[in-house]
Structure 1
Amino acid sequence: MIASVHQELWQNLGAATRSRSPFTTMQLATIGTDGAPKVRTVVLRQVDEARSTVSFVTDLRSPKVAEIRRDPRVSLVGYDPQGGIQIRLEGRAVILAQPEDKKPIWDRCRSHTLALFQTPDAPGTEIASPRGAGGTLEHREGNEQAFRNFCVVEVELQRLEWLDLSPEGHQRCFFRRTAGSWVGTWIAP
């Protein structure tokens, strides 16, 4: 049964990148540059089971980039309220800012997402009033500044955890990556 949980976990993550699902958005935790924990929502963009990685995008000017560069250990958590399933992921993040590394995901993002990267203000900058991102990015190839600000964060997973909170009885297991393969163990919920 634990092997089927591992398979289901990866299927849920993969489905989250193809269409909206409860695991499309996950909460990312980092260690802030001040040493305090920081948590925010990210959108999964790519899952590679063979490489044991998940990826999301962010603005290169974002505080989370500095946090990850300082301490690459991260944790992500997602929850499906309908199914009562929580997935936790732990690993080491790498910032992919080179054009050849980020272009494949850039090409798959929608224009309204890419428009966020063309704003003059870095994420977290204090501004006089709320305002939109300034429209949509009409020509992906023509906005060099947005592409420069865009980066991919790839997390090489080292631990996966699955928690079933359904009324039938809670179950929990974790998987640790050892020597390139995953080993699972049941644990008390």
Structure 2
Amino acid sequence: MPKPHLDPIADEVWRLLNAGANAGKTRSPFTMLQAATIGLDGSPRVRTVVLRRVCREQRSVMFHTDVRSAKVAELRQDARIALVGCDLDTGIQIRLHGSARIVDAPHETRDIWTASRPRTLIVYRTPLAPATPVASPAEAHATTAGEDIDSSAGFENFCLIDVAVSKIDYLDLNPAGHVRASFTFDAGAWRGEWIAP
């Protein structure tokens, strides 16, 4: 566990992440995070992902994506990933570092697919892999209005990215004085320390 004086910070980090994954109509600033991977050519790659699940006990955060996407190929080559979220109103930034596990086995993904909103799943129904060049935006659309859609259409393109968090960086840009803390998971326990902003 973190040092006692850092416990409230660790609690706040996981509370904010949990709120991000469980946002309702009012989005949390931590619902959409920036995810950084190492490109196949060794250069950095960053994109926005939607936080879907958080489990503090397993130090896990999860998002889903298209198995045909570049980020999946990148994570298959190098599982290291970094995520960052920021609440511009409060000045709080959370950075996560960890190792990604690609979850694409149907017995592990079916329940999450079934529980997802249809408008969320439409992106997996397109016949084209993400980033495929198209002549017009409409060419990339999966279906047109009024078509009868099989509820499992696109399931073969759906996967989860489960990140085992190994380091957390918390920054609070409080006008009264910036506060920054770091938490590292090592030898089965979290170690926390204050660091300079």
Structures share a fold, TM > 0.5?
yes
Give the CA deviation at 1:179: 2.2
Structure-1 residue corresponding to 2:174 = 166
1:12 paired with 2:16, answer: yes
CA deviations 1:23-69 (Å, max 9, x no partner) are 00000000000110000000000101110010000000001000000
The one-letter code of the counterpart of 1:11 is R
Q: Kindly tell me: are residues 75 and 139 of structure 1, through their superposed partners in 2, closer, same or farther at Cα, counting changes over 3 Å? A: farther
Give the CA deviation at 1:133: 4.4
Q: Is the CA contact 1:112–1:135 (under 8 Å) kept in the aligned structure 2?
A: no
Partners of 2:85 and 2:119 in 1: CA distance: 24
Q: Tell me the matched-pair count.
A: 187
Structure-2 residue corresponding to 1:31 = 38
Q: Kindly tell me: are residues 135 and 47 of structure 1, through their superposed partners in 2, closer, same or farther at Cα, counting changes over 3 Å? A: farther
For residue 29 of structure 1, give the secondary structure of its aligned residue in structure 2.
strand
Identity percentage over the alignment? 47
Q: Kindly tell me: are residues 143 and 168 of structure 1, through their superposed partners in 2, closer, same or farther at Cα, counting changes over 3 Å? A: same
1:134 paired with 2:137, answer: no
Give the CA deviation at 1:145: 4.3
Give the CA deviation at 1:101: 1.2
The one-letter code of the counterpart of 1:159 is K
Give the CA deviation at 1:103: 1.8
Q: Is the CA contact 1:75–1:90 (under 8 Å) kept in the aligned structure 2?
A: yes
Partners of 1:179 and 1:96 in 2: CA distance: 25
Q: Is the CA contact 1:31–1:38 (under 8 Å) kept in the aligned structure 2?
A: yes
The one-letter code of the counterpart of 1:32 is G
Q: CA RMSD in A?
A: 1.7
Q: Kindly tell me: are residues 4 and 128 of structure 1, through their superposed partners in 2, closer, same or farther at Cα, counting changes over 3 Å? A: same
Q: Kindly tell me: are residues 139 and 163 of structure 1, through their superposed partners in 2, closer, same or farther at Cα, counting changes over 3 Å? A: farther
Partners of 1:108 and 1:143 in 2: CA distance: 11
The one-letter code of the counterpart of 1:157 is V
Structure with higher Rg: it is 2
Structure 1: 5+ residue runs without aligned partners?
none
For residue 137 of structure 2, give the secondary structure of its aligned residue in structure 1.
coil
- Normalized against structure 2, the TM-score is what? 0.90
The one-letter code of the counterpart of 1:164 is D
The one-letter code of the counterpart of 1:22 is P
For residue 90 of structure 1, give the secondary structure of its aligned residue in structure 2.
strand
Give the CA deviation at 1:139: 8.4
Structure 2: 5+ residue runs without aligned partners?
none
- Normalized against structure 1, the TM-score is what? 0.94
Partners of 2:148 and 2:63 in 1: CA distance: 22
2:89 to 69, 82, 87: 82
